[in-house]
């Protein structure tokens, strides 16, 4: 009779199969991680190629004489949201990508000129023009549009004051990746349309190339999860206290989540109906009690601080949440570089049609969150004044608009660009009112409405790719 010993050499068949399975799973995981890393590297390289090509195209188009800076024909519209031509409609190009809005009339041969005649002599091929760079391929789209300078007065030719160039580059999807790629987009500064060397450059332009990265001011508190979804505004509500972190959540009378800066603009459910969506009061609080105009107070009613000067943290202790309002982006998916100016476009008017002056203070900052409830803000200094804020006063210290929303653009030219936000950090903007030059209880600000898409426009060489 044979007995099984306790020290048999070798492995059983089951042990061999289990070991093989473990090795196979480990190898598959390792190869999967390597594949993902390779795809991410390829995607980053392809995005940089697209950006370089778009910037080269911009420089080429800017070198054209004004007469030639027009499209040979208007491009055909597309039904594909991931195509740049999705923004083409009826001879216009939507300057805001998502949702399509701010249509600008395209400059193309055969289109009417202000004062009579038609555009001719244009040499810009709208595309799409295919290209290949090594193993990266895609198509280039080119657009030239008219822009109106509302500050120009009677000396400018109607709504055809300046030309603007937009170049979009859409990459083809490599065979080892799935899903259709989005596109990157670069815009030029305004181009003076006057012929000849006597043409004056636009003061704010200076020939710099800028991307079309935009962040829209929303009425939705930022999400701590890293991805904020815009909430539909359904009625008047108390003011959001935006002095805390995203992890604080929505608060109305203690530091809470800032409102979000979103990469898509406010949706328009009925473009043909100017009353849909409705306008709401974002600060229906008692701090203006009795309300100055309870039937017409709309948007955010921002109060001047208790003492003179621009203050990042309100000096007042009574409803300080009404004296500074902050917005921040979701964490950056990768390094995001500010290469030049950041422009804040805001819509404002007086309450109850009061006649008064006013000074707006704006703060541009980077936020790093070491823990969900601990944030460190780095405020960018003004290149002109070395102050940690930028100010806007209507031209000539004129009164603020009374009967309609005025559009104001504040260029924040900060010290020593480029400035890079690491992946995971957030970009923020805050607004307050300076007391000395704002002798009223509050000023109204409107945002997060398709007719008034208040936003930040950022000069960057690392736009966040859509799609």
Look-up of token digits 């203050």: 311
- Identify which of 138, 164, 147 has the alpha carbon closest to the alpha carbon of residue 82: 138
Separation between Cα atoms, residue 233 and residue 117, nearest integer Å: 46
Query: DSSP per residue over 313-333, as a string?
Result: S-S--SSGGGTEEEEEPPPPS
CB contact at 8 A, 341 and 412: yes
User: Which of 322-326, 336-340, 402-406 has the highest average model confidence (pLDDT)?
Assistant: 322-326
| Predicted model pTM | 0.65
The sign of the dihedral angle between the CA atoms of 93, 95, 97, 100 is negative
Is pLDDT of 8 > 60?
A: no
CB contact at 8 A, 244 and 257: yes
Separation between Cα atoms, residue 246 and residue 260, nearest integer Å: 9
Separation between Cα atoms, residue 424 and residue 402, nearest integer Å: 41
The region of weakest confidence among 95-104, 173-182, 362-371, 382-391 is 173-182
Query: In 10 A of CB 201, how many CB atoms?
Result: 12
* Percent of the chain's residues with pLDDT above 90: 46
CA distances from 438 to 80, 400, 409, 433, 443 (A): 48, 10, 18, 7, 9
Separation between Cα atoms, residue 192 and residue 224, nearest integer Å: 44
CB contact at 8 A, 335 and 422: yes
Is pLDDT of 207 > 50?
A: no
In the chain the domains, ranked by start, together with CATH numbers, are 49-211 (no CATH), 213-460 (2.60.120)
- Identify which of 167, 149, 268, 166 has the alpha carbon closest to the alpha carbon of residue 216: 268
Residue 249 — very low, low, confident or very high, per pLDDT cuts 50/70/90?
Answer: very high
Is pLDDT of 411 > 70?
A: yes
* pLDDT tens-place string over residues 257-305: 999 999 888 887 876 677 889 999 999 887 775 555 566 789 999 999 9
Query: In 10 A of CB 59, how many CB atoms?
Result: 12
Q: What is the pLDDT of residue 341?
A: 86
Beta bridge partners of 458: 213, 342
Residue 85 — very low, low, confident or very high, per pLDDT cuts 50/70/90?
Answer: very high
Pairing of strands 209-211, 406-412: unpaired
Separation between Cα atoms, residue 291 and residue 227, nearest integer Å: 36
CA distances from 378 to 311, 363, 364 (A): 15, 10, 9
* pLDDT tens-place string over residues 159-204: 787 788 999 999 888 765 666 777 888 887 655 444 433 333 333 3
Q: What is the pLDDT of residue 156?
A: 57
Separation between Cα atoms, residue 19 and residue 28, nearest integer Å: 14
CB contact at 8 A, 98 and 265: yes
* pLDDT tens-place string over residues 421-462: 999 999 999 999 999 999 988 999 999 998 888 999 898 878
Separation between Cα atoms, residue 174 and residue 205, nearest integer Å: 37
């Amino acid at each position: 009779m044979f007995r099984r010993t306790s020290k048999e050499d070798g492995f059983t068949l089951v042990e061999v199969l289990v070991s093989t399975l473990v090795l196979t799973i480990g190898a598959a995981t390792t190869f999967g991680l390597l594949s993902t890393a390779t795809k991410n590297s390829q995607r980053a390289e392809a995005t940089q190629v697209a950006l370089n090509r778009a910037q080269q195209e911009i420089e080429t188009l800017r070198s054209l004489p004004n007469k030639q800076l027009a499209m040979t024909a208007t491009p055909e519209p597309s039904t594909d949201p991931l195509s740049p031509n999705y923004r083409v409609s009826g001879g216009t190009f939507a300057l805001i990508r998502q949702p399509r809005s701010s249509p600008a009339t395209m400059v193309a041969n055969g289109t009417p000129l202000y004062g009579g005649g038609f555009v001719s002599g244009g040499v810009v091929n709208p595309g799409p023009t295919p290209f290949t760079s090594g193993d990266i391929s895609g198509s280039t789209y080119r657009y030239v549009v008219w822009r109106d300078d509302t500050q120009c007065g009677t000396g400018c030719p109607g709504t055809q004051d300046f030309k603007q160039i937009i170049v979009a580059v859409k990459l083809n999807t490599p065979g080892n990746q799935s899903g259709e790629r989005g596109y990157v987009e670069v815009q030029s500064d305004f181009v003076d349309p006057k012929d000849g060397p006597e043409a004056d450059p636009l003061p704010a332009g200076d020939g710099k190339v800028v991307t079309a990265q935009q962040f829209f001011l929303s009425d939705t508190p930022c999400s701590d999860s890293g991805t904020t979804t815009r909430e539909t505004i359904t009625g008047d509500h108390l003011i959001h206290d935006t002095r805390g972190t995203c992890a604080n959540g929505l608060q109305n009378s203690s530091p809470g989540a800032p409102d979000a800066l979103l990469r898509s603009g406010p949706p328009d459910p009925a473009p043909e109906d100017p009353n849909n969506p409705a306008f709401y009061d974002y600060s229906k609080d008692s701090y203006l009690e009795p309300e100055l105009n309870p039937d017409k107070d709309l948007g955010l009613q921002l109060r001047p601080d208790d003492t003179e000067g621009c203050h990042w943290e309100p000096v007042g202790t009574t409803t300080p949440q009404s004296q500074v309002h902050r917005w921040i982006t979701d964490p950056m998916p990768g390094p995001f570089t500010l290469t030049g100016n950041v422009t804040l476009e805001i819509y404002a008017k007086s309450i109850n049609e009061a006649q008064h002056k006013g000074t707006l203070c704006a703060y541009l900052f980077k936020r790093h969150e070491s823990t969900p409830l601990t944030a460190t803000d780095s405020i960018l200094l003004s290149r002109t004044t070395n102050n940690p804020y930028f100010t806007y006063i209507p031209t000539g210290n004129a009164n603020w608009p009374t009967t309609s929303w005025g559009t104001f653009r504040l260029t924040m030219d900060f010290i020593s660009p480029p400035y890079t936000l690491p992946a995971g950090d957030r970009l923020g903007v805050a607004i307050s009112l300076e007391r000395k030059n704002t002798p009223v209880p509050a000023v109204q600000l409107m945002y997060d409405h398709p007719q008034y898409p208040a936003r930040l426009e950022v000069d960057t060489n690392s736009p966040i790719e859509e799609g």
